Structure 1
């Protein structure tokens, strides 16, 4: 967030978008992590006969989606425009940083595609005969 503010102060909208996207990724991931441990799981548990179904809290999936969108925005802009002087000055890291941002872009795109394709959070069904999972 500090980097985004610094970029705005220097007049670099591109660097501000990159830093803003990465800040959204961090804040969204932290919010999803926090929600995982603070929201009661009892609301997402269903017991019928001898089977119990555990569902993922939809808010957690939405927060991860927001984090992934921020990661895609920030990393894709960095990978595309990292040769520009205004971006290099604010995000100095060279080839290693560019490779890490490219990896972040790939992983974030895969995660976002998986989240959009599933259209619902995953579930775990426990029965005396075993368990089944559903994530898509």
Structure 2
């Protein structure tokens, strides 16, 4: 059965490997066309290989001020097509958007996540909350 995004959420994660106390997670992730993720980090290293569809990753960088310690600013965009590979470092902040007219499917490999350091960022409020 092919991986399909959940019609209500617009995305789906199929866990292929996740062993407690072992620092490796393997997933298949599907995004419906036009769906955009929240701006987030993973707080670990990661490798994403796009299997189908097209995906735009928008990268952000921390730009704190004395008033807003969680302020971020736009850094770059990267378009992935099938066969494209994206490497993420633990401090990477990004947003995923499925572009085109077909769902995206990616093979994702992640190290051990420090959930206390995994955040969703709000551009309007300059805040970060646990994700």
Q: Give the structure with the higher percent strand.
A: 2
Q: Give the structure with the higher percent helix.
A: 1
Query: TM-score, normalised to structure 1's length?
Result: 0.23
Query: TM-score, normalised to structure 2's length?
Result: 0.24
Higher RCO (CA 8 Å, separation ≥ 6 residues): 2
State which structure, 1 or 2, has the greater radius of gyration over its C-alpha atoms: 1
